[in-house]
Amino acid sequence: MELLLLTRDEVQSLLDVDALLEGLEDGFLALSDGRVRSPPRSEVGVPGAGHLLLKPAWLPGHPMAVKLVSTFIGNSSRGLPTIQALITLVDPSTGTPQAVMDGSYITAMRTAACAAISARCLARRDARVLAIIGAGVQGRAHLRVLPRVRAFAEIRIASRRFSDAQALAAADPRAHACESFQQAVHGADVVCLCTSSGTPVISIDWLSPGAHVTSVGYAPPGGELPIEIARQGRLVVESRLAFEPPPAGCGELTGLDPAMGTELGDLLSGKAAARASDTELTAFKSMGHAMEDLVAADLVYRKALQGGAGRRARL
C-alpha cells in the first residue's frame, strides 16, 4: 500500500479558497438531494479533557473520506492547538487508502467557508459591518473568508482577551478590536460566533434588525448560540441531523423541531426562499458535516497530484 502524505504547510498551499466555496456549494446541493453517504458522526470522550470525533463520508465522483478530529480545550495552556485533525482518502472502487493529510487547516477553512456561504445566501446585500466573536483559529479563518461574499467596510473583532482581538485585527486594515462582545455586535450586519464556549456568548437583544448570525462552535451539551436566536430567527443548517443530540448534532438545537430548520442546499437550489425582508433575523448553525471535509480534502488531493506535491510512503 502506497500513501500520499501531505503536511499542513502543503495543504495550506494547495487549498484554494474560491474553489473551496464553489465545491462546498455543490456539496450542499448533493447533501440535500440525498446523494451524500455519511453516517452520523461518533465520539469518544475523555472526561475533563476533550473528545475525539470520527467523521466518514462519500459522494459519487469523489474518494471516500474519514476525518479524525479532536477538541481538547486545555491544549492552549500547553502550547498545542485546541482542534487537531487528520483526514484519510480511500479509493471508492477498491477500498485502498490513497492519502493521509493534515486536517486542522482544512477544518478551519471549510468551517469558515460554510459560514460564508450562508452569509452569501442570507446576509443583506447592503451588509457592510462584520463582527467576529473569537480571535482563535476560527476567527482567523472567518476574517479571511467572509469578506469574499460581502464588501465589508468595517470588521470588528472581540475576544475574551483584548490583546488577542488586537492581534487578529492587525491582519486586516478594515478591522479593529472591540473591548466587549456587545460592543462588537451592536449595529453589525453579520455576526460570526467562533468560540469554544459551552454557554451563549451574545444576546438576541444586542442584534440589529436584519442581522445574520453564524455559529460554528461545538461544545456539548451546550454551545455559544443563544436558543432565542434559533427559535425567533430564520434558522439554516447544513443538514437536519443538526437537531439530533450530540455528537451527531448540535447541543444548542437539541429538542427543537427539525422542521424549523432550512437546509443550506435547499437555499442554494432555490427550493427554499432566502430572507423574507431586510429586517428578518437569520441564523446559520453549523454542525460541521463530513461532506465538507471530503470536498476540501479531495480538492487538495487532486491539486497535489497535478503538481507533484507531498511524499509517497509505502506501508
- pLDDT by residue for the chain (315 residues), tens only, comes to 899 999 999 999 999 999 999 999 999 999 999 999 999 889 998 998 999 999 999 999 999 999 999 989 889 889 888 889 999 999 999 999 999 999 999 999 999 999 999 999 999 999 999 999 999 999 999 999 999 999 999 999 999 999 999 999 999 999 999 999 999 999 999 999 999 899 999 999 999 999 999 999 988 889 999 999 999 999 999 999 999 999 989 999 998 999 999 999 999 999 999 899 999 999 999 999 999 999 999 999 999 999 999 999 998
pTM above 0.85, yes or no: yes
User: Nearest 5°: CA angle at 31, between 197 and 219?
Assistant: 10
pLDDT of residue 83: 87
pLDDT of residue 73: 82
Angle 290-307/104-122 helices, nearest 10 degrees?
Answer: 120
pLDDT of residue 237: 98
pLDDT of residue 287: 93
Is the backbone of residue 117 left (phi > 0), alpha (psi -120 to 50) or beta? alpha
Q: Does an H or E element contain 183, and which?
A: helix 181-185
As given in the structure block, the three cell numbers for residue 299 are: 480538492
Domains defined for the chain, CATH in brackets: 2-106+291-314 (3.30.1780.10), 124-288 (3.40.50.720)
Place of cell 436566536: 229
End-to-end CA distance of the chain: give it in Å, rounded.
5
pLDDT of residue 76: 82
Residue 41 is given by DSSP the state P
Residue 215's DSSP bridge partners are: 193, 285
Cα–Cα distance measured from residue 194 to residue 108, given in angstroms and rounded to the nearest whole number = 10
pLDDT of residue 238: 97
Local structure of 149: helix, strand or coil: coil
Cis-peptide into 221, omega within 30 deg: yes
As given in the structure block, the three cell numbers for residue 99 are: 492519502
As given in the structure block, the three cell numbers for residue 260 are: 424549523
Local structure of 201: helix, strand or coil: coil
State the CB neighbour count (10 A cutoff) for residue 308. 6
pLDDT of residue 154: 98
Between the CA of residue 115 and those of 24, 76, 190, what are the distances in Å? 11, 24, 10
pLDDT of residue 22: 98
Q: Which amino acid is at 88?
A: T
pLDDT of residue 58: 98
Contact at 8 Å (CB) between 134 and 165?
no
Dihedral pair phi/psi, residue 195, rounded to 5°: -120, 175
Give the distance from CA 212 to its chain's centroid. 15
Nearest to 63 by CA among 31, 23, 33, 99: 99
Between the CA of residue 173 and those of 141, 148, 155, 177, 241, what are the distances in Å? 16, 15, 9, 11, 39
Nearest to 250 by CA among 203, 282, 286, 199: 286
Burial class (CB in 10 A: 0-12, 13-18, 19+), 272: middle
pLDDT of residue 77: 86
Residue 87's DSSP bridge partners are: 67, 101
Cα–Cα distance measured from residue 273 to residue 133, given in angstroms and rounded to the nearest whole number = 28
